[in-house]
Amino acid sequence: MVPKRWAKRAVTRNTIKRQIYQLASEFEPRLLPAAHVVRLRAGFDRKQFISATSEVLKQAVRAELTQLLRKACVQPAKPQAKASAPALAKGAPAPLPAVPTPAQSGMESA
């Protein structure tokens, strides 16, 4: 979600959305199969990003999104030592793997 509150020009909002779609498709194989929402939580200063489609703006958006999506990716499971026979009693469920928590940055994923 890219609200007008944080990106006044439609061209800027569309540029940010395109960057989100492009990076999300690159990270898709490593993300959990779920609905992911990226929400802009801070504005882009027009003095710093003069052009709405400048490479500087695209690089800033990509850098932050890459950091966010890396944190949201599924981490490969660490090899665990084999459990002994008494620890896995008949009928006892196997332990579930840990789920990564969402990152807290300028943008968030849900």
Q: How confident is the model at residue 13 (pLDDT cuts 50, 70, 90)?
A: confident
Q: What are the φ and ψ backbone dihedral angles of 35, each rounded to 5 degrees?
A: -80, 125
Q: Which helix (H) or strand (E) holds 38?
A: strand 38-40
Q: Which structural domain range is residue 2 located in?
A: 1-75+101-110
Q: Is the pLDDT of residue 105 over 50?
A: no
Per-residue pLDDT of 23-53, as tens digits, reads 989 998 888 888 888 887 777 777 777 787 7
Q: Is the pLDDT of residue 22 over 90?
A: yes
Among the residues of 28-82, which ranges form H helices?
A: 55-72
Task: Classify residue 93: in a domain, yes or no.
Answer: no
Task: Classify residue 24: in a domain, yes or no.
Answer: yes
Total domains in the fold of the chain: 1
Task: Classify residue 81: in a domain, yes or no.
Answer: no
Q: Is the pLDDT of residue 92 over 60?
A: no
Q: Report which of residues 16 and 97 the model is more confident about.
A: 16
Task: Classify residue 96: in a domain, yes or no.
Answer: no
Burial class from Cβ neighbours inside 10 Å (0-12, 13-18, 19+) for residue 42 reads: exposed
Q: What percent of the chain has a predicted confidence (pLDDT) above 90? A: 9
